[in-house]
């Protein structure tokens, strides 16, 4: 009988304290699990999508992610020596690809703050899926540096970008990013990405009731027919620093209803297995999808859980593997890549961790207390990306 692997758990950092504990050394599984190109968890969910945080820093202070009250001038970020090097990231990514990953998304913090990010992108473009195809390589950004970086990102091999944009009204946008950054500069970045060929571009809007929900219709009108897919995201209870309340959540059903009053929509099929967004196309006069007008998406992680086919793993900036955006524990991969572990050891550890995965927080949200795990705090979005 195969012996089950009990990986070392990494305690979640107390962000209010502003310190990062040193992770304990990882343990290798007693039994070897070779990468076969496909690994599933306890609920039959296959590993297909890897999100890699390349920095814990950001130049915005959005209240739902990195509120200024916590992430102030005294906040202690990770020292550079704690971050995974590009070579370490690529080595880890290769073993995830060997287990069936087809898509890699670079996140942060703000990933464009990571020096020479283009070098990492170029290295990742050399990886191939188990059937020989290029990876779907993408990046999520707040757009602040995109205008100056877009051409270099494309030249390095990046396929597309997703831009976070929470409103078109400059006053609303400056208040939400809380660093007085103008919306015009983000729009310039989106245009630069389009001109560089980084597409199809997606724009993500986090909707917080009473804060920016008045921007829903203007955002939809602005991006309709642009070739850009606008996605509305429910304000999520990620981490413990954003003061989340259910009263602030605007359900996706309400977003769609508001859009339908002015911009008729027609439901579309999912674009791929594990897709987080429900797709809606703009309707023509006959009630059919107007392809030229495009589509929007809604991501309902609070009101309509999509845990059932979640195929995503996340690597934090310093190499901790998280199996859920709402996780309160991680698994140390950095000590493996910096120790004596072989690639086969690393692949085996990843395989054992994923195959034991049971995470489905969103599906259980209504039955769980806000502080789960006997007092353990959930990981912050800024630590592992969205």
Task: Indicate whether 289 belongs to any domain.
Answer: yes
- What's the rounded mean pLDDT across residues 22-51? 83
Confidence at residue 276, expressed as pLDDT on a 0 to 100 scale? 80
Q: Which of 60-74, 189-203, 364-378 has the highest mean pLDDT?
A: 189-203
Instruction: Provide the domain count of the chain.
Output: 1
Q: Is 264 among the domain residues?
A: yes
Q: Report the alpha-carbon angle 157-162-163, nearest 5.
A: 125
State the CATH number of the domain containing residue 147.
3.20.20.70
> What is residue 12's predicted lDDT score, i.e. its pLDDT?
38
Per-residue confidence (pLDDT) for residue 302, from 0 to 100? 80
56: confidence class by pLDDT, cuts 50, 70, 90: very high
Mean pLDDT, residues 200-207: 96
Rounded mean pLDDT of 347-359? 93
Phi–psi pair at 231, nearest 5 degrees = -125, 130
Domain contains 353: yes
76 within some domain: yes
Q: Which residue would you say has higher pLDDT here, 385 or 251?
A: 251
pLDDT band, residue 242 (cuts 50/70/90): low
Residue 210 backbone phi and psi in degrees, to 5: 80, -5
Region 115-120 average pLDDT: 98
**71-75, 146-150, 270-274, 286-290: which has the minimum mean pLDDT?**
270-274
pLDDT of 243 > 60? The answer is no
Quick one: pLDDT at residue 361? 67
User: Does residue 256 surpass a pLDDT of 90?
Assistant: yes
Tell me which residue of 248, 228, 307 sits closest to 41, measured CA to CA. 307
Integer angstrom CA distances of residue 195 from 152, 227, 381: 12, 12, 30
The percentage of the chain sitting over the pLDDT mark of 70, rounded to a whole number, equals 83
> What integer pLDDT is reported at residue 325 of this predicted model?
80
pLDDT band of residue 266 (cuts 50, 70, 90) is very high
Looking at residues 291-299, what average pLDDT do you find?
96
Centroid of chain to Cα 299 = 12
CA distance 147 to 150: 6
Pick from 7-21, 33-47, 146-160, 218-232: least confident: 7-21
Residue, of 310 and 27, whose pLDDT is higher: 310
Residue 265 and residue 52: Cα distance in Å, rounded?
Answer: 34
First and final CA of the chain: distance in angstroms?
A: 38
Q: State yes or no: pLDDT of 380 exceeds 80.
A: no
b/e code 52-68 from CB counts within 10 Å (16+ = b): bbbbbbbbbbbbbbbbe
70 pLDDT above the threshold of 50: yes
304 vs 341, higher pLDDT: 341
pLDDT at 235 over 80: yes
Query: Stretch 229-240: mean pLDDT, rounded?
Result: 80
- If you average pLDDT over every residue of the chain, what do you get? 87
Residue 144: per-residue pLDDT: 98
With a cut of 80, say whether residue 352 has pLDDT above it. yes
Residue 64 inside a domain? The answer is yes
3-state helix, strand, coil in the chain (%, to 5): 30, 20, 55
1 within a domain of the structure (yes/no): no
Q: Domain of residue 177: give its range.
A: 9-384
pLDDT over 70 (residue 381): no
pLDDT of residue 147: 98
Tell me whether strands 329-332 and 9-11 are parallel, antiparallel or unpaired: antiparallel
- Residue 28's pLDDT is 73
Position 58 in a domain = yes
* DSSP secondary structure code for residue 260 in this structure: H
1-33 pLDDT, tens digit per residue, is 333 334 444 443 434 333 333 344 466 777 889
pLDDT band, residue 303 (cuts 50/70/90) = confident
């Amino acid at each position: 009988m195969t012996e089950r692997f009990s990986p070392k758990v990494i305690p979640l950092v107390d962000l209010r304290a502003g310190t990062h504990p040193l992770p304990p050394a990882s343990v290798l599984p007693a039994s070897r699990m070779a990468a076969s190109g496909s690994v599933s968890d306890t609920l039959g969910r296959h590993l297909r999508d890897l999100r890699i945080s390349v920095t814990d820093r950001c130049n915005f202070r959005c209240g739902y992610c990195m509120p200024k009250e916590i992430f102030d001038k005294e906040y202690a970020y990770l020292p550079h020596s704690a971050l995974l090097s590009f070579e370490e990231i690529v080595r880890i990514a290769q073993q995830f690809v060997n287990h069936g990953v087809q898509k890699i998304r670079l996140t942060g913090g703000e990933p464009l703050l990571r020096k020479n990010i283009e070098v990492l992108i170029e290295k990742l473009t050399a990886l191939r899926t188990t059937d020989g195809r290029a990876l779907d390589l993408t990046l999520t950004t707040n757009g602040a540096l995109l205008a100056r970086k877009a051409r270099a990102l494309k030249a390095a091999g990046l396929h597309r970008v997703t831009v976070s944009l929470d409103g078109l009204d400059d006053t609303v946008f400056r208040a939400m990013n809380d660093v007085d950054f103008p919306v015009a500069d983000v729009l310039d970045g989106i245009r630069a990405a389009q001109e560089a060929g980084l597409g199809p571009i997606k724009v993500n809007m986090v909707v917080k009731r009473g804060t920016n929900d008045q921007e829903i219709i203007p955002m939809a009108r602005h991006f309709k027919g642009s070739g850009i897919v606008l996605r509305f995201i429910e304000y999520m209870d990620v981490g413990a620093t954003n003061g989340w309340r259910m009263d602030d959540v605007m359900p996706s059903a309400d977003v769609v209803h508001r859009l339908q009053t002015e911009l008729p929509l027609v439901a579309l099929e999912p674009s791929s297995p594990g897709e987080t967004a429900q797709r809606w196309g703009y309707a023509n006069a006959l009630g059919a999808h107007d392809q030229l007008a495009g589509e929007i998406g809604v991501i309902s992680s609070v009101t309509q859980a999509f845990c059932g086919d979640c195929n995503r793993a996340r690597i934090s900036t310093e190499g901790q593997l998280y199996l859920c955006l709402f996780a309160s524990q991680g698994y140390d991969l950095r000590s493996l890549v910096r120790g004596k572990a072989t690639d086969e050891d690393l692949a085996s550890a990843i395989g054992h961790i994923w195959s034991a995965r049971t995470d489905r927080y969103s599906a259980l949200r209504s039955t769980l207390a806000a502080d789960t795990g006997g007092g353990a705090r959930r990981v912050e979005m800024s630590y592992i990306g969205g």
